[in-house]
């Protein structure tokens, strides 16, 4: 094999050759067979591949690495330059064996081969972030939720163990929001009472966390003052024992004040403030998280560079601890930009694992966005010529499931969702792919003979 | 492909810059071959020379070998409906793009009534889902032999072939398979499957009938051994089926097997595993539960492997709650991330509008645009549609991100001279852009009407709001 040192020698050798007017070499042709293995040498093609560009400078007659080598051998002899190779390949060119009409024969036995699974090891782990705090940590949660901590792509348990499964937070609003019918029917009885709503999410639908969205603070809606919104946060914290996420209304002017107040009243509970964005006072929001011991959600609009920038601001300017940042790189629904969301998140995750410490944070997804897709809620297609869409009660949940599933494969650790069936199915997928569901079916070949 | 730099291709080209390939220089052509937007055989002089001169032929063969995709590309079916599978280059779509979308086949079986077979086949053939300016369709039909009767299988295969779609023939029994191949081998079906038990017969059939064949084994070493054996015997159109298991540890290990195959082929360069991969979401129908649960789980299995490397699939459910999410996910994942999905900004006339018809505005994000345009067209709504350059972003994101602004709306109104074409000054804006209505009125002097949140509701909305009450 050519090692790096020898490769360097070959380059030098080529440099020397260049001095001998390359043009003179034009027209020299080496005829011969194109055997890959070179007898009498340990040289294989892959090791010479990096030199290929260099070799091709000598003209297109050197179109095989093998030929190039023997050519160089001859030249070195002719020009009296020492050969750069320790072991000299056989100078004789093997004659081409006569072409034999191949008879297609069925072999007796399968050929023996070796298969070694490949293992990918990354250098950097995703930060592990704890949400919620129990009594011993100064809070009142019954348990905490951990996200992140992995050193491989999502569910690649064969590369490295996954310390934490993705978790699901169910959305709660402090006033009845616009909801698709299929979603609303599950919350009809609690729409006016955020505390009851939160309880239902945990007790009935198995939420790992709840997110209370303080949308009534929006100046375009009720414009509820921050202090009043903070009371709702307290009520939710009392109603449930799981960790809580606090969301604003998305209003750039109002959110910093609302989230600051929420951070203050939930001191010790280690909530997540959602969110700090580049176009609002991220510094104030992140400072509130830092000062009261919470986590901040760093939200950018589908742009890996902006995500890096905002994370750096939070780390460097605010001094957020590394274990207190989660990212939301933005979720687009299946069919409505999911490809961008998927690839953006996959790139962020790969960058983090490969050592970009501005990006190795857990990720969160607003998967409820899936319900914006018309396929999820519309009675039927408005498009002439479409195959009828079928019952929408069945389309909606699967839209949320597939949106979430796809992003889980990109590396999302925390899902904010709404439909109870979607929540249940995604949980099943996560435990299955993580290796926590042991049962299998006995005969996976049975479909071959399946009738009906 | 083996080569990474245009220079490595350039040296094999005629270097005459003749332009016959459609590119100005040979170097530019070489660059397009590298990113796979051009094929070596697009170089006519190279191909013509190869026909005359054996040396040039060698040169061409070498080039074809150097530029062959990492994963073998194979074709199932013939003619216009034939489907290409495999041909992939990368593990993550942002590294280049994924090329041939996962092919979707739906099953029928030969102990089914003829009437039912016809119904299912028609459903596959007729399926259409409008998306981003085109109708998405399904690829083919998998015929399973459940009768174990070569005659019946042949009969059903013949019937199904009449629908003109690519086929997968499913039977582990060489007699049944041979009987079907005698009928439809010229349609180039994919035969399923060679196993460690029956491989000799299947190898012989693949050679005799020149059809692509699926190799099936849960053990990757066995799978690799079969692939190498088949290849050395002269069969290169291979598909690998590492056996899909529907639930639990079985599904987890299926995930691992599929990823290991593709990773070995692309990262470790194992040519014996560099073939298209088959996954069979239909196995979801083996689990306990009601039909909706099974269908949902079928969509889950399919989606997992649409994202992760499956090139061809066999499905059971033709219900929209399985088909629609999976055809759209497939489209999304296989969209080329290198080309922005935008349309040209400007003015579009919908259904031959007159001066009193409404003026709408939307973004130039292809998905948004085609959705609005088709809603208007198929709703028989006459109108003028302004398409704003939002850098390819949708309404919600561009309003939030500052690509959809009042001043840009003003510019577009001036540039398209829309006020000379209509006799009113009412602009219908998307419901999701409602917050811009004041600013747009101030900036443009037009009266803004805030439309519905979804353009699918424009028809009903117009009945109430158009013509506007003064």
A148 beta partners: A128
- One domain, residues A258 and A341: yes
Q: What is the 3-state secondary structure (H, E, C) of B275-311?
A: CCEEECHHHHHHCCCCHHHHHHHHHHHHHHHHHCCCC
- One domain, residues A222 and A356: yes
Out of A56, A104, A432, closest to residue B233 by CB:
A104
Residue showing tokens 């029956």: B198
A114 and B221 within 8 Å at the Cβ level: the answer is: yes
The CATH T-level fold of domain B346-465 is Rossmann fold (3.40.50)
Map out the domains of chain B as residue ranges: 6-66, 73-333, 346-465
Give the whole-angstrom CA distance, residue A270 versus residue A212. 14
Beta strand B359-363 with B383-388: parallel, antiparallel or unpaired? parallel
DSSP string of A70-81? HHHHHHHHHHTP
- One domain, residues A324 and A213: yes
Mutant choice from A51, A65, A111, A400 vs B, greatest count of B C-beta within 10 A: A111
Mutant choice from B328, B341, B372 vs A, greatest count of A C-beta within 10 A: B328
The CATH number given to whatever domain includes residue A166 is 3.20.20.20
What is the DSSP-derived secondary structure letter of residue A150? -
What pLDDT was estimated at residue A144? Answer: 98
- Contact in structure between A32 and A93 (CB atoms under 8 Å): yes
DSSP string of A331-347? ---TTTTHHHHHHHHHH
CA nearest to B347, candidates B365, B358, B360: B360
Token code pair at residue B45: 């002089």
What pLDDT was estimated at residue A9? Answer: 47
B131 phi and psi angles, rounded to 5 deg: -160, 130
With bands split at pLDDT 50, 70 and 90, how would you rate the model's confidence at A91?
very low
Provide ipTM, 2 decimals. Answer: 0.86
Out of A106, A402, A438, closest to residue B200 by CB:
A106
pLDDT (tens, 9 = 90+) of chain B, 470 residues, equals 888 888 889 989 999 999 999 999 999 999 999 888 899 999 999 999 999 999 999 999 999 989 999 999 999 999 999 999 999 999 999 999 999 999 999 999 999 999 999 999 999 999 999 998 889 999 999 999 999 999 999 999 999 999 999 999 999 999 999 999 999 999 999 999 999 999 999 999 999 999 999 999 999 999 999 999 999 999 999 999 999 999 999 999 999 999 999 999 999 999 999 999 999 999 999 999 999 999 999 999 999 999 999 999 999 999 999 999 999 999 999 999 877 678 899 999 999 999 999 999 999 988 889 889 888 988 889 999 999 999 888 898 788 878 999 999 999 999 999 999 999 999 999 999 999 999 999 999 999 999 998 898 899 999 999 999 86
B447 touching chain A per CB within 8 A: no
With bands split at pLDDT 50, 70 and 90, how would you rate the model's confidence at A85?
very low
- Contact in structure between A426 and A417 (CB atoms under 8 Å): yes
B433 touching chain A per CB within 8 A: no
- One domain, residues A266 and A355: yes
What pLDDT was estimated at residue A213? Answer: 98
Distances (CA, A) of B18 to A62, B22, B40, B45, B251: 24, 9, 15, 9, 54
For domain B73-333, give the CATH superfamily: Dihydropteroate synthase-like (3.20.20.20)
- What residues contact B106, with CB distance under 8 A and at least 6 apart? B120, B123, B124, B138, B140, B141, B142, B314, B315, B316, B318
- Contact in structure between B188 and B82 (CB atoms under 8 Å): yes
Examine residue A374 and state whether it is found in any structural domain, yes or no. Answer: yes
Give the Cβ contact number of residue A354 at 10 Å: 12
Give the whole-angstrom CA distance, residue B77 versus residue B212. 10
- Chain A residues with CB under 8 Å of B12 CB are 60, 63
Out of B8, B58, B280, closest to residue A52 by CB:
B8
Query: Does pLDDT of A287 surpass 90?
Result: yes
B141 beta partners: B106, B167
DSSP string of B226-252? HHHHHHHTT---EEEE-----SHHHHH
B450 touching chain A per CB within 8 A: no
Examine residue A252 and state whether it is found in any structural domain, yes or no. Answer: yes
- Chain A residues with CB under 8 Å of B220 CB are 115, 117
Examine residue A376 and state whether it is found in any structural domain, yes or no. Answer: yes
Number of Cα atoms under 13 Å in the Cβ half of residue A303: 11
- One domain, residues A280 and A413: yes
CA nearest to A75, candidates A54, A56, A91: A91
B133 touching chain A per CB within 8 A: no
- One domain, residues A50 and A168: no
- One domain, residues A37 and A143: no
A432 and B245 within 8 Å at the Cβ level: the answer is: no
Domain C-terminal end among A79, A106, A136 = A79
Searching chain A, which residue's CA lies closest to the CA of residue B371?
Answer: A383
Examine residue A62 and state whether it is found in any structural domain, yes or no. Answer: yes
B21 touching chain A per CB within 8 A: no
* pLDDT tens per residue across span A223-234: 999 999 999 999
B434 touching chain A per CB within 8 A: no
Examine residue A149 and state whether it is found in any structural domain, yes or no. Answer: yes
A451 and B7 within 8 Å at the Cβ level: the answer is: no
Mutant choice from B329, B390, B458 vs A, greatest count of A C-beta within 10 A: B329
With bands split at pLDDT 50, 70 and 90, how would you rate the model's confidence at A218?
very high
**Chain A / chain B CB contacts < 8 angstroms:** 254
- One domain, residues A144 and A53: no
What pLDDT was estimated at residue A23? Answer: 37
Domain B6-66, second-level architecture: Orthogonal Bundle (1.10)
Helices (H), A44-153: 45-48, 52-56, 65-79
Averaged pLDDT of chain A: 84
What pLDDT was estimated at residue A102? Answer: 53
Examine residue A87 and state whether it is found in any structural domain, yes or no. Answer: no
- One domain, residues A47 and A171: no
- One domain, residues A255 and A342: yes
Token code pair at residue A290: 């830092």
Give the whole-angstrom CA distance, residue A242 versus residue A131. 9
Examine residue A106 and state whether it is found in any structural domain, yes or no. Answer: no
Helices (H), A204-281: 226-239, 255-265
- Chain A residues with CB under 8 Å of B264 CB are 115, 117-118
B332 and A342 within 8 Å at the Cβ level: the answer is: yes
Searching chain B, which residue's CA lies closest to the CA of residue A302?
Answer: B397
A347 and B367 within 8 Å at the Cβ level: the answer is: no
* pLDDT tens per residue across span A258-279: 999 999 999 999 999 999 999 8
For chain A, what is the largest distance between any 2 Cα atoms, rounded to a whole number of angstroms? 93
For A318-331, what is the mean pLDDT? 97
- Chain B residues with CB under 8 Å of A107 CB are 229, 232-233
Token code pair at residue A170: 């169910």
B349 touching chain A per CB within 8 A: no
Gap from B53 CA to chain A (nearest CA, Å): 15
Gap from B119 CA to chain A (nearest CA, Å): 14
Beta strand B73-76 with A364-366: parallel, antiparallel or unpaired? unpaired
A104 and B207 within 8 Å at the Cβ level: the answer is: yes
Q: Long-range CB contacts (< 8 A, 24+ apart) of B162-165?
A: B163/B121, B163/B122, B163/B124, B163/B125, B164/B79, B164/B81, B164/B125, B165/B77, B165/B81, B165/B121, B165/B124, B165/B125, B165/B139, B165/B140, B165/B141
- Contact in structure between A403 and A366 (CB atoms under 8 Å): no
- One domain, residues A161 and A252: yes
Beta strand A145-148 with A128-131: parallel, antiparallel or unpaired? antiparallel
Give the whole-angstrom CA distance, residue B25 versus residue B48. 18
Out of A56, A102, A402, closest to residue B7 by CB:
A56
Ordered strands of the B140-144 beta sheet: B238-241, B213-216, B190-194, B167-170, B140-144, B103-109, B312-315, B278-279
- One domain, residues A36 and A156: no
Which residue range forms the structural domain that includes residue A157?
128-434
- Contact in structure between A124 and A353 (CB atoms under 8 Å): yes
- What residues contact A193, with CB distance under 8 A and at least 6 apart? none
Per the structure, the count of domains in chain A is 2
A118 and B367 within 8 Å at the Cβ level: the answer is: no
Gap from B355 CA to chain A (nearest CA, Å): 26
What pLDDT was estimated at residue B469? Answer: 83
Examine residue A123 and state whether it is found in any structural domain, yes or no. Answer: no
Query: Does pLDDT of A66 surpass 60?
Result: no
Searching chain A, which residue's CA lies closest to the CA of residue B302?
Answer: A402
């Amino acid at each position: 094999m050519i090692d790096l040192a020898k490769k360097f020698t070959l380059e030098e050798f080529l440099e020397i050759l260049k001095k001998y007017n390359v043009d003179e070499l034009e027209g020299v042709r080496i005829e011969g067979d194109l055997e890959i293995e070179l007898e009498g040498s340990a040289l294989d093609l892959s090791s010479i591949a990096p030199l290929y560009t260099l070799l091709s400078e000598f003209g297109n007659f050197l179109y095989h690495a093998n030929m190039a080598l023997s050519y160089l051998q001859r030249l070195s002899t002719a020009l009296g330059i020492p050969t750069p190779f320790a072991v000299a390949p056989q100078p004789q060119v093997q004659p081409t064996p006569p072409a034999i009409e191949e008879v297609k024969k069925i072999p007796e036995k399968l050929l023996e081969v070796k298969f070694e699974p490949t293992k990918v090891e990354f250098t950097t782990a995703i930060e592990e972030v704890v949400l919620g705090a129990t009594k011993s940590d100064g809070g009142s949660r019954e348990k905490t939720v951990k996200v992140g901590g992995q050193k491989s792509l999502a569910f690649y348990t064969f590369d490295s163990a996954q310390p934490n499964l993705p978790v699901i937070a169910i959305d709660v609003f402090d006033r009845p929001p616009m909801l698709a019918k299929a979603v609303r029917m599950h919350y009809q009885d609690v729409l006016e009472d955020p505390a009851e709503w939160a309880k239902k999410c945990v007790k009935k639908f198995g939420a790992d966390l709840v997110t209370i969205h303080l949308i009534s603070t929006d100046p375009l809606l009720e414009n509820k003052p921050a202090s009043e919104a903070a009371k709702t946060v307290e009520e939710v914290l009392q109603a449930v024992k799981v960790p809580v996420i606090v969301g604003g209304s998305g209003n750039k002017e109002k959110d910093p004040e609302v989230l600051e107040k929420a951070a203050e009243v939930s001191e010790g509970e280690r909530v997540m403030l959602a969110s700090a964005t580049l176009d609002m006072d991220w510094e104030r929001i992140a400072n509130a998280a830092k000062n009261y011991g919470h986590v901040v959600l760093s939200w950018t609009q589908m742009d890996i560079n902006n995500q890096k920038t905002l994370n750096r601001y939070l780390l460097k300017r605010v001094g957020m601890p590394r274990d207190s940042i989660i990212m939301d790189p933005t979720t687009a629904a299946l069919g409505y930009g999911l490809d961008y969301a998927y690839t953006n998140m996959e790139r962020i995750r790969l960058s983090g694992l490969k050592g970009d410490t501005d990006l190795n944070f857990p990720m969160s997804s607003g998967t409820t966005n899936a319900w914006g897709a018309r396929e999820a809620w519309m009675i039927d297609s408005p498009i002439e010529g479409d195959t009828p869409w079928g019952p929408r009660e069945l389309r909606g949940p699967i839209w949320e499931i597939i949106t979430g599933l796809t992003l889980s494969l990109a590396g999302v650790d925390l899902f904010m969702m709404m439909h109870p069936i979607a929540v249940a199915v995604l949980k099943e997928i996560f435990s299955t792919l993580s290796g926590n569901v042991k049962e299998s079916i006995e005969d996976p070949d049975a479909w071959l003979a399946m009738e009906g | 492909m083996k080569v990474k730099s245009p220079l490595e291709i350039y040296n094999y080209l005629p270097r005459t810059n003749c332009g016959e390939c459609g590119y100005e220089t040979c170097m530019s052509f070489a660059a397009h071959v590298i990113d796979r937007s051009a094929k070596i055989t697009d170089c006519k002089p190279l191909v013509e020379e190869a026909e005359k001169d054996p040396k040039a032929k060698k040169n061409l063969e070498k080039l074809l070998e150097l530029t062959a995709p990492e994963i073998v590309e194979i074709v199932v079916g013939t003619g216009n409906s034939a489907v290409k599978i495999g041909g992939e280059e990368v593990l993550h779509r942002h590294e280049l793009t994924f090329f041939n979308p996962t092919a979707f086949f739906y099953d029928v079986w030969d102990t089914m009534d003829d009437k039912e077979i016809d119904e299912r086949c028609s459903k596959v053939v007729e399926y259409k889902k409008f998306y981003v300016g085109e109708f998405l369709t399904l690829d083919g039909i998998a015929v399973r032999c459940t009768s174990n009767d070569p005659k019946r299988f042949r009969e059903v295969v013949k019937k199904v072939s009449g629908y003109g779609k690519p086929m997968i023939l499913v039977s582990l029994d060489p007699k049944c398979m041979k009987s079907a191949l005698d009928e439809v081998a010229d349609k180039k079906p994919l035969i399923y499957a060679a196993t460690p038990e029956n491989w000799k017969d299947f190898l012989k059939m693949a050679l005799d009938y020149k059809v692509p064949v699926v190799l099936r084994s849960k053990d990757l070493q066995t799978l690799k051994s079969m692939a190498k054996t088949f290849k050395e015997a002269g069969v290169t159109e291979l598909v690998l089926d590492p056996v899909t298991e529907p639930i639990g540890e079985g599904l987890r290990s299926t995930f691992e097997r599929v990823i290991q195959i593709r990773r070995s082929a692309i990262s470790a360069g194992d040519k014996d595993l560099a073939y298209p991969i088959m996954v069979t979401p239909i196995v979801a129908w083996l689990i306990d539960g009601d039909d909706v649960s099974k269908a949902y789980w079928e969509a889950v299995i399919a989606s997992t492997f649409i994202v992760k490397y499956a090139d061809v699939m066999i499905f059971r459910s033709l219900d929209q709650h399985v088909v629609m999410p999976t055809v759209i996910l497939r489209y999304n994942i296989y969209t080329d991330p290198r080309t922005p999905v935008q349309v040209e900004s400007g003015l579009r006339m919908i259904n031959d509008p007159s001066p009193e018809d409404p003026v709408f505005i939307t973004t130039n994000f292809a998905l948004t645009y085609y959705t609005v345009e088709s809603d208007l067209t198929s709703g028989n709504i006459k109108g003028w549609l302004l398409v704003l350059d939002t850098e390819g972003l949708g309404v919600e994101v561009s309003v939030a991100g500052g690509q959809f602004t009042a001043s840009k709306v003003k510019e577009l109104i001036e540039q398209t001279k829309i006020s000379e074409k209509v006799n009113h000054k009412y602009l219908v804006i998307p419901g999701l852009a409602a917050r811009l209505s004041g600013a747009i009125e101030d900036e443009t002097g037009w009266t803004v009407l805030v439309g519905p949140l979804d353009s699918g509701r424009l028809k009903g909305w117009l009945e109430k709001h158009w013509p506007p009450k003064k």
